[in-house]
């Protein structure tokens, strides 16, 4: 759901021409989902599953997994708004990086919790 919501907000401009709400949703959402998955199940795999689902959803809806070069939801170019390409790329890479960092964060906490203190 985070992926679809974020993808639909990529071309959105807020007050004053501010862009990037979708990037914030991707980064904070994927970090939070990884943390909640790791907290709920206590394993790094559980922390990675929301990020994997997010990435697959983004790639499917962005047209990255199809043989056609058409954009589905992630715009590649809009003549009146050239900044949308940068926001779309930041959404994709920022969200994937946040999912990876969240998984590493949970893995380190799980390893530290499993290590007996002397």
Asked if the structure places residue 91 within a domain, the reply is: yes
DSSP string, 4-67: HHHHHTTT---GGG---HHHHHHHHHHHHHHHHHHHHH-SHHHHHHHHHHHHHHHHHHHTTTSS
Instruction: Give the separation between CA 53 and CA 1, rounded to whole angstroms.
Output: 9
Asked if the structure places residue 93 within a domain, the reply is: yes
pLDDT score, position 68: 60
Asked if the structure places residue 39 within a domain, the reply is: yes
pLDDT score, position 89: 85
pLDDT tens-digit profile, the chain (118 residues):
888 888 888 878 777 777 888 899 999 999 999 999 988 888 889 999 999 999 998 888 876 655 565 556 676 666 776 677 788 888 889 999 999 999 999 898 888 887 876 5
Range of the domain at 58: 19-114
What domain count does the chain have? Answer: 1
- The verdict on pTM exceeding 0.85 is no
């Amino acid at each position: 759901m985070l992926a679809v919501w974020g993808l639909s907000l990529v071309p959105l401009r807020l007050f004053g021409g501010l862009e990037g709400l979708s990037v914030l949703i991707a980064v904070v959402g994927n970090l939070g989902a990884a943390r909640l998955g790791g907290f709920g199940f206590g394993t790094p795999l559980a922390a990675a599953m929301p990020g994997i689902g997010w990435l697959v959803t983004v790639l499917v809806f962005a047209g990255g997994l199809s043989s056609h070069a058409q954009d589905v939801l992630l715009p590649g170019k809009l003549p009146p708004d050239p900044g949308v390409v940068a926001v779309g790329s930041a959404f994709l890479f920022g969200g994937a990086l946040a999912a990876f960092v969240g998984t590493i964060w949970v893995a380190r906490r799980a390893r530290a919790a499993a290590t007996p203190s002397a």
